[in-house]
Structure formats: structure tokens, C-alpha cells
Structure 1
Amino acid sequence: MIATSVMQFETPPLTDPSVGRGRRLLWPAVAATAATGYAVVAHVLDPNQAGNYPTCPWLLLTGTFCPGCGTLRATHALTEGNVLEALQRNPLTVAAFVLMALGFARWTRRQWRGERRMTAAPAWLLYGLFWLIMAFWVARNIPGWTWLSPA
């Protein structure tokens, strides 16, 4: 007769009670401060006025728009409450801000509760995001499609 032993693994706790909430919320606070600083600078230094910011290096070298062209102007428009203008400047930026705000809220909630870290995004999502950005890059440079240009 062969004796078998069953190994039992203990699952790690979902929370770490040894770490206080203040310490767990340090990085969300740092991220919120940085995002607020970016928004304040984009609001105060109007990117629509020449000389406040340098020209996009990609636009300067190639004469075509990169996926990020118009991001500062879209941010400036959002800080003034003008969502339609922000969508005209860079619709991908507006969508990214919404997704980042939702992700930040989820991250902060998990940190507040002391839950384990979130797992990385699945590969299909990352590849999909990559190809969406590439398609946007090509589409905004198609002659005649001025509705996607940041100008």
C-alpha cells in the first residue's frame, strides 16, 4: 500500500494589516499630485499661444501628426470645461483621460482596502491598444481627413 500525502498551500491574505492606510495611499497621492500639476501647467500656459511650448519633434521632422499631437491643447480645453474642443484636438487623449481616471479610482480603492496588487492587463488588450493608436496615427494623416488633425 502506497501512502500519499496531500500538500496544502496556504493562500496569502488579501490584505496586509501591518501596513497602514496612510502608507498605502502614498503612491496614489503622488500620482494625483503629478496629474494635478500637469493640468495646472496646461491650463495656465495656454498651448494655443505660440512660444509657450516647443513644437512636437515628430511634426517638426516629418510634417505629419503623431498620435500625441494636440494633447496639450486637449488638456487645456478640458481644464476650461470645453469637452467638444478637447475632442477636436485629440479624441484619443480624452478617451485616455477617462480610462486613466477610472483606473486611478480602482487603484486607490484597492490601496485603501489593502488588497493585493492588480494583475497586468491581458496581452490581447495591450495589442489592441497598440493597433488602435497605430490606426489613429495613420488616419489623422490621411489627406482630406482634417477632422482628425489637432489644428
Structure 2
Amino acid sequence: MKFLYILGLIVLLSFVIIYYQFNPEVYSFFPECPFHKYLHLDCPGCGSQRAIHALLHLNLQKAMGYNLLLVFSLPILALQLFCKIYSYFTKKTLLLHFWYSPNTPKIIFVIVMIFWIARNLPYPPFNYLAA
């Protein structure tokens, strides 16, 4: 189990270094969104790679322009990761109780669907959500 945590940390750090060093707008080795490429619409994840690059360069405003949902969800995901790491090393259970509620996946699904629809509407203020 410890090996998996170390491997996960190595992979995470590798991605952080890659996304810090290389701008997805400039380099073509980053994967393209097939939804955007073929349908010319933004999926909920469109702009995430550019948003991560902007966040790593401490440009919050630019990151929010690329993918607002990602920027708002990262603190919750980081808190969950911290709880997992804390629990692993201290052998004490630290849980975000709302994360384990049966309604959480449903709420997340609804939020993602609303964001997906809203960011493809061509009217203000929704057009500001587009990647």
C-alpha cells in the first residue's frame, strides 16, 4: 500500500512539473478534447489543462477564465487528499463526512451538467464560462 502512495506522489509531481514547464496552448503533445474538436462545444473539462498551467503560475484570474468549475473544485479535492494522507500517516481517521454522503455523487453530477450546458450558451453571462 505504501508503494502505491509513493508511486501516486511521483506521478502527481511529474504532472505538476510538466504542466508548470509546458503551456498547453503552445505545445501540441497535450491531448485535445474530442468533444470540442468534433462538435465545437465545450465539455465540463475543456480548458482544464490551461487552467492548471495558469494556477501553477499563480494566475487565478486566467485559470478561472479557462475552467471555473475546476478552480472551484480543486480546494475540495486538495482537502480530501490532505485527509487521506493525514489518516494514512497518523493512523487516525479524518473524514469529510459530506464526501461520503449518498447524495454527493448526485449533487456533483447535477453541478457538472449545469456547468456543461451553461458554458455552451452564447448569451452573457454564460458565454464567459466558455473555455
TM range (shorter): 0.7 to 0.9
* Aligned residues of 1:78 and 1:86 also touching (Cα < 8 A): yes
Q: Does 1:131 align with 2:131?
A: no
Question: Any stretches of 5+ residues in structure 2 without a counterpart?
Answer: none
Change (3 A) 1:92 1:55: same
| 2:42 counterpart residue number | 65
Which stretch shows the higher mean deviation, 51-60 or 117-126?
117-126
Whole-angstrom distance in 2 between the partners of 1:54 and 1:107: 29
Distance in 2, matches of 1:76 and 1:109, equals 27
For the residues of structure 2 that align with 1:127 and 1:37, how far apart are their CA atoms?
Answer: 32
For residues 133 and 34 of structure 1, the distance between their equivalents in structure 2, rounded to whole angstroms, comes to: 26
Corresponding residue of 1:147: 128
Structure 1: state its 5+ residue gaps.
1-22
The structure where helix makes up a greater share of residues is 2
Deviation for aligned residue 1:32: 2.7
Whole-Å separation in 2 of the counterparts to 1:55 and 1:74: 14
| 1:1-151 correspondence runs (5 A) | 25-49=2-26, 51-115=28-92, 121-144=100-123, 145-150=126-131
After superposition, the CA RMSD in angstroms is: 2.2
Q: TM-score scaled to structure 2, two decimals?
A: 0.84
Residue deviations 1:108-147 (CA, integer Å, cap 9, x gap): 1111122469687222111000110010000000012321
- Percent identity of paired positions between Structure 1 and Structure 2: 24
Q: Which has the higher contact order (CA 8 A, sep 6+)?
A: 1
- Determine helix, strand or coil for the equivalent of 1:81: coil
Q: Normalising by structure 1, report the TM-score.
A: 0.74
Q: Is the 8 A contact 1:45 1:52 kept in 2?
A: no
Shift, 1:55, TM fit: 2.5
Is the Cα–Cα contact under 8 Å of residues 83 and 94 in structure 2 kept in the other structure? no
